[in-house]
Structure 1
Amino acid sequence: MYDRLLFPTDGSDVASDALEYALDVAATHDATLHVLNVADTTVDSVTNVRGEVVDALEEEGERIVAAVAERASDRNVSVVAEVLQGRPHETIVDYARTSGVDLVVMPTHGRSGIKRYLLGSVTERVVNTSNVPVLTVTPDDDARLTYPPRDVLVPTDGSPGADRAVAEAIALAKETSATLHLLHVMETASLGPDVRSAVKGGELEERGNEILHAAADRARDASVDDVATALASGRAYREILSYVRENDVDVVALGTHGETEFSRYVLGGVSAKLIRTSPVPVLLARQLESDGTNETP
């Protein structure tokens, strides 16, 4: 499933913490780990040393990727190390595309306090623009980082973006023999109590069950036997987090470009909140803009 992983790193503590998880993913799938440090050319990093012009960021980058390569070698994980110049998010996305990467693993740069709710700008931009799925890891003290996963959750609203996430979650559950959890949340929180009661037993519930049944059929057709479905009502991100905690979910898969009236799971809304607050890694699969399908690149 994953033959080439990309782990962009700036050498920070949060990147170092997320590396262990990336190594777990690579070891599980016998994948090559591409380690990339981007020397940000928007920063004036050129200094004169003994009459020679030296790019300090590139020099530091070489030290960073060498340290990661050593840790990967200790885990018997194959490594390709690169230091490139450019704008970080653009360079990461371009490298993933041109190197045939199957998955990008990145930290969210959130820990505790207010920083927990600030999604790293580079990670956010990569998620927004990468056609390659991005697995975000919050290296927090209370984070639960388990790989291979035993339980994979995919919230789905039936949109093309969510459908791609369903496909990614199905493939991951099959590859790791995990239980696949399918969840549909009816967004009724903004409605009055009388209206909520009416719609819960009516059109929204019927549509939600249709979406869940279709996704479950896809999973079973792909030979995923252990499938659980659940229908909930309320605020999507709260219901998703509640389900994660109550069912010991290890990975949440989300689509980031929903297009229909049921499109609740889009970055900037539910996805962004989950990336910032989820106690488990979040796998984001962006709907391809070239043709609007959910075909995996």
Structure 2
Amino acid sequence: MMYDTILVPTDGSKGANAAARHGLRLAEAFDSQVRFLSVVDDRTYSSGLAGIDSEANDQREALERQATDALQVLEELGDETPTTYQTAVEHGVPHEMILSYADEHDVDLISMGTHGRTGLDRYLLGSVAERVVRTSDVPVLTSQSEPEESSGYDRILIPTDGSDTATAAVDHGLAIAEQYDATVHVLSVVDLSAVVGSYDVAPMIESWKERCERTVEGVAEESENRGLDVVTDVVEGTPYRAIQQYIESEEIDLVSMGTHGRTGLGRYLIGSVTARTVRTSEIPVLTV
């Protein structure tokens, strides 16, 4: 698996700069080309009047300068690495423009900050990052803090429930683990909240646990076939809390997970385990 082209969108925020560092780090590992993109949100000025109305024109120019300044910061980061990069300023609705740009340029991975300049930070459900995560056809790496200087990603967590998207996330997680010779942690959570109020809960939990164990064993086998060290765990609890606790206790560096699991409501389910993990995680989360 290769990420030939990595897209890093920026709004000039700290989160975007952190995401650029993660994107550049992966680009070095996978020998990728990077594209830095800044989107002027044309809803913030009267775009139809920009050629006519001088105030709208000034507004547009100020936003374009801001976009160019944001890109300049990323260019400086890019210059510190051997990675080749290209930059672009586009006009449109940010999440839509990011996705269409990714499509147009055959991007394999998008790396972006979880919260930008909105001021409402990561708890804003309609944020650009979350919309991109929910609707992107390519994996999205979200992050909110800079990678640590010294190391790569030494401990990679792959939470899995055996669904198709979880399986896709396994491949990506293992590909990154191979590049960094990381230890792979495979976690499956028996979701106790899903059986609350059911009649005769014990056998349901038992069969769920068995399925989880089979799932983690499958991923462990795949990891070992690639010569990677692997740790597995099956726990009972609320999935996103269990994942968060595991990240903290095992000092995980990166999480790779599917955008939606067995709920059947697909990736548009905002309350999904993945969306919550993306919003609250201190470490990068790769959603597939």
Name the TM-score class by shorter chain.
0.7 to 0.9
Per-residue CA deviations over 1:106-139 (Å, capped at 9, x if unaligned) read 111179x984533561111111111110000023
Once the two structures are TM-superposed, the CA of residue 255 in structure 1 deviates from its matched residue by 0.5
SS at match of 2:7: strand
Give, in whole Å, the separation in 2 of the partners of 1:150 and 1:249. Answer: 8
Give, in whole Å, the separation in 1 of the partners of 2:218 and 2:124. Answer: 35
Query: Residues 145 and 250 of structure 1 are in contact (CA less than 8 Å); yes or no, is this contact kept in structure 2?
Result: no
Query: What TM-score results when the alignment is normalised by the length of structure 2?
Result: 0.84
Per-residue CA deviations over 1:215-235 (Å, capped at 9, x if unaligned) read 2233334x1431221110011
Once the two structures are TM-superposed, the CA of residue 144 in structure 1 deviates from its matched residue by 6.8
**Of 267, 273, 276, which aligns to 2:276?**
273
Name the structure 1 match of 2:234.
231
Question: Does structure 1 residue 44 correspond to structure 2 residue 49?
Answer: no
**Of 92, 98, 104, which aligns to 2:104?**
98
**If each structure's helix is expressed as a fraction of its own residues, which one has the higher value?**
2
Give, in whole Å, the separation in 2 of the partners of 1:235 and 1:63. Answer: 43
Name the structure 1 match of 2:189.
185
The correspondence of residues 155-234 of structure 1 with structure 2, limited to 5 A, is: 155-189=159-193, 191=196, 199-200=204-205, 202-221=206-225, 223-234=226-237
Q: Name the aligned partner's letter for residue 227 of structure 1.
A: V
Gaps of 5+ in 2: none
Name the structure 2 match of 1:295.
none
Give, in whole Å, the separation in 2 of the partners of 1:50 and 1:42. Answer: 17
Once the two structures are TM-superposed, the CA of residue 58 in structure 1 deviates from its matched residue by 2.7
Name the structure 2 match of 1:80.
86
Give, in whole Å, the separation in 2 of the partners of 1:159 and 1:274. Answer: 17
Aligned sequence identity (%): 36
Question: Does structure 1 residue 256 correspond to structure 2 residue 281?
Answer: no
Question: Does structure 1 residue 26 correspond to structure 2 residue 53?
Answer: no
In structure 2, relative to structure 1, the CA distance for the partners of 1:147 and 1:27 (3 Å cut) is: farther
Query: Residues 107 and 138 of structure 1 are in contact (CA less than 8 Å); yes or no, is this contact kept in structure 2?
Result: yes
**Of 98, 107, 124, which aligns to 2:130?**
124
SS at match of 1:167: helix
Query: Residues 165 and 254 of structure 1 are in contact (CA less than 8 Å); yes or no, is this contact kept in structure 2?
Result: yes
Q: Name the aligned partner's letter for residue 73 of structure 2.
A: A
Query: What TM-score results when the alignment is normalised by the length of structure 1?
Result: 0.81
Name the structure 2 match of 1:3.
4
Per-residue CA deviations over 1:7-59 (Å, capped at 9, x if unaligned) read 10011233234333333233333322210011112221637799995632334
Give, in whole Å, the separation in 2 of the partners of 1:37 and 1:283. Answer: 21
RMSD across aligned C-alpha pairs, in angstroms? 3.4
SS at match of 1:28: helix
Give, in whole Å, the separation in 2 of the partners of 1:226 and 1:117. Answer: 35
Give, in whole Å, the separation in 2 of the partners of 1:64 and 1:187. Answer: 42
Per-residue CA deviations over 1:132-171 (Å, capped at 9, x if unaligned) read 100000239xx97886211111111111111111111121
SS at match of 1:208: helix
Give, in whole Å, the separation in 1 of the partners of 2:270 and 2:124. Answer: 14
In structure 2, relative to structure 1, the CA distance for the partners of 1:236 and 1:48 (3 Å cut) is: same
**Of 229, 240, 243, which aligns to 1:240?**
243
In structure 2, relative to structure 1, the CA distance for the partners of 1:272 and 1:82 (3 Å cut) is: same
Give, in whole Å, the separation in 1 of the partners of 2:78 and 2:154. Answer: 24
Query: Residues 39 and 97 of structure 2 are in contact (CA less than 8 Å); yes or no, is this contact kept in structure 1?
Result: yes
Q: Name the aligned partner's letter for residue 97 of structure 2.
A: T
Per-residue CA deviations over 1:220-277 (Å, capped at 9, x if unaligned) read 34x143122111001111111111111111111110133467x99x652211211121
Q: How many residues align?
A: 280
Give, in whole Å, the separation in 2 of the partners of 1:114 and 1:83. Answer: 24
Q: Name the aligned partner's letter for residue 180 of structure 1.
A: V
